[in-house]
Amino acid sequence: MRWPVPIALIGISLFFGANYFVRTHLPANTFLNEFNLGLKSHQTVLNWLGSAQNPKLQVKVGARVYPFQYQNLGIIFDLNQTYRELTEESTQKFPQNIIAFLKAYGERKAVLPALVFSQEFYERVAALQFDFSKDKDKVLLSPKTKNLVYENHQELFVIDAQSLLKEILVNFGKKGVLKPQVHRVIDSHKSLKIAEYNLQLSEIFAKPVKLYADKTGLVGKLSETDLKQILLIDYDTQNEWLSVGVDREAFEGVVNSLAFSLGKDLKVDKEDFRQKLISLINSRFNGYSTDSLIINFREAPNTEGEVEAKYIEIDLSQQKMYLWEEGENIAIHRVSSGLYYPTPPGRYKILNKAENAYSYIYHVWMPYWMAFSLDPKVNAYLGIHELPYYYDLTGTEIRRPRDFIGSPHTGGCVSLDVGEAKQVYDWAKVGTPVWIFD
């Protein structure tokens, strides 16, 4: 039986038309993520993929939304690969393309966009930090324990890269806000650094500091409480740098409270002591165990310039004279005090002056005489003067030995060396106070 010509032509036309449709359109139920692209023409799909290949991503972190693009994040969209996967059935040879096309009506084909997440993607996402901090971190010093206290006020977040990757894949082609998982950054470095510093600080107070005087032995100690009171701590938050030192005022208070039994005329060389203590504290801070210090003592005046605006101080045990003016010690002179008759301690003043006076008791001349007391026991003035002298039978001037200065050799007066007596004589006036300590 022969088909009529028109029917044959219609059949041939339908065959070629169906084949053309299959080759130029996606099978039914072809999905790219949630987008049903089934039965859409290849050109329509290609145009759609082209418009979706570099979207403006909106990523939510906390309450804020940040814009990104693929190239900003190191993402590459392989449009050709995505297109090939979508059109795979359509491009098969006849009759496989027809068979696959027909089967698609009963099956669902799901295709993911061919997005390449390079190593650069992970690096860039890891480098993104989102700061929601309202206050800066603080490092405070506890005045009682001398420990650093770290207050973490930082609210810093990072995006989970894998979560963002899934969000971008699943929401390809959609308009909306991506909501990847975020993690709060805990800056363990700072807390560990503070803990390390506190451990170093604890070494400073681990044991008392024993204080020794040269050739004398143990004379005292600094307790943990003393060290905490003295310690000066400065923390540089920006550079995370801690420096330790000695607070001058607190150090003065602690030293003044220490009872050193070396005699009232010996006083601690405070500046030398302070510098040595700074070295010890820094040594302990850096892990070196240092238990003791040798501190220096020096002879010091009994007063500190507070007695009068201008006065003379004489210390018999030191055999020294101190001149004070407006609270400043302007001169120190070695003297020789009474041996045959002790120079009496007490408070006096200059009673009279003479450039040269004669002693009828000892038959000597006393240059630059300054009387400070009329002593009833010897019924004579006691005074300050230069080393006395006398004339022998030949008329030669005989001066008392200069090595007398520094030890008692007089009959109660206070002798000064040649030259120094004139300096004191010119400086002192009648009425200038004289304080003598034993």
Query: What 3-state class would DSSP assign to 284?
Result: helix
How many domains, in total, are found in the chain? 2
The total number of residues shown for the chain amounts to 438
> Where in the sequence is the domain holding 243, given as residue range(s)?
204-299
8 A C-beta contact, residue 65 and residue 59: yes
Q: What is the pLDDT of residue 386?
A: 98
Q: Is the pLDDT of residue 47 over 90?
A: yes
Same domain, 314 and 404: yes
Going by C-alpha positions, the residue among 188, 192, 190, 124 that lies closest to residue 158 is 124
Averaged pLDDT of the chain: 91
If you average pLDDT over residues 198-224, what whole number do you get?
A: 89
Condensed to tens digits (0 to 9), the pLDDT of residues 76-112 reads 999 999 999 999 988 898 889 899 899 999 999 999 9
Same domain, 237 and 274: yes
Q: What is the pLDDT of residue 262?
A: 53
Per mean pLDDT, which range of 124-128, 211-215, 312-316 is the poorest?
Answer: 211-215
* 282 assigned to some structural domain: yes
> What CA–CA distance (Å, rounded) separates 31 from 42?
14
Same domain, 346 and 370: yes
Same domain, 314 and 295: no
Going by C-alpha positions, the residue among 298, 294, 301 that lies closest to residue 316 is 301
8 A C-beta contact, residue 333 and residue 424: yes
Last residue of one domain, picked from the residues 232, 267, 299:
299
Task: Using a cut of 0.85, tell me whether the model's pTM lies above it.
Answer: no
8 A C-beta contact, residue 15 and residue 22: no
Last residue of one domain, picked from the residues 245, 276, 299:
299
In sequence order, the 6+-apart residues with CB closer than 8 A to the CB of 320 are 299, 301, 314, 332, 333, 334, 335
Same domain, 387 and 329: yes
CB atoms under 10 Å from CB of 270, counted, come to 16
Point out which residues pair with 351 in neighbouring strands: none
Same domain, 355 and 392: yes
Query: What 3-state class would DSSP assign to 272?
Result: helix
Last residue of one domain, picked from the residues 299, 333, 360:
299
Number of H helices, E strands in the chain: 12, 31
8 A C-beta contact, residue 346 and residue 423: no
State in Å, rounded, how far the first CA of the chain is from the last one.
Answer: 155
CATH of the domain at 427: 2.40.440.10
Condensed to tens digits (0 to 9), the pLDDT of residues 144-176 reads 899 999 888 888 999 999 999 999 999 998 889
* 249 assigned to some structural domain: yes
CB atoms under 10 Å from CB of 129, counted, come to 11
> What CA–CA distance (Å, rounded) separates 36 from 315?
110
* 43 assigned to some structural domain: no
Point out which residues pair with 398 in neighbouring strands: 390
The amino acid present at 161, given as its one-letter code, is: A
> What CA–CA distance (Å, rounded) separates 246 from 251?
7
The amino acid present at 241, given as its one-letter code, is: W
pLDDT band at 29 (very low <50, low <70, confident <90, very high): very high
* 150 assigned to some structural domain: no
Q: What is the pLDDT of residue 123?
A: 95
Q: What is the pLDDT of residue 256?
A: 83
Q: What is the pLDDT of residue 220?
A: 86
Same domain, 252 and 274: yes
Condensed to tens digits (0 to 9), the pLDDT of residues 268-303 reads 888 899 999 999 999 999 999 889 999 888 888 889
Same domain, 327 and 408: yes
* 195 assigned to some structural domain: no
Q: How far from the centroid of its chain's Cα atoms is residue 92's Cα?
A: 73
**138 burial class (0-12, 13-18, 19+ CB within 10 angstroms)?**
exposed
Same domain, 323 and 432: yes
Q: What is the pLDDT of residue 134?
A: 87
Same domain, 433 and 316: yes
Q: Is the pLDDT of residue 263 over 60?
A: no
> What CA–CA distance (Å, rounded) separates 19 from 10?
14
Same domain, 286 and 343: no
* 191 assigned to some structural domain: no
Per mean pLDDT, which range of 129-138, 172-181, 183-192, 403-412 is the poorest?
Answer: 183-192
Q: Are strands 310-315 and 320-325 parallel, antiparallel or unpaired?
A: antiparallel
User: What is the largest distance, in Å, between two alpha-carbon atoms of the chain?
Assistant: 183
Same domain, 294 and 332: no
> What CA–CA distance (Å, rounded) separates 169 from 56?
14
Q: Is the pLDDT of residue 10 over 60?
A: yes
Q: Is the pLDDT of residue 260 over 90?
A: no
Q: Are strands 182-184 and 156-159 parallel, antiparallel or unpaired?
A: antiparallel
* 339 assigned to some structural domain: yes
* 146 assigned to some structural domain: no
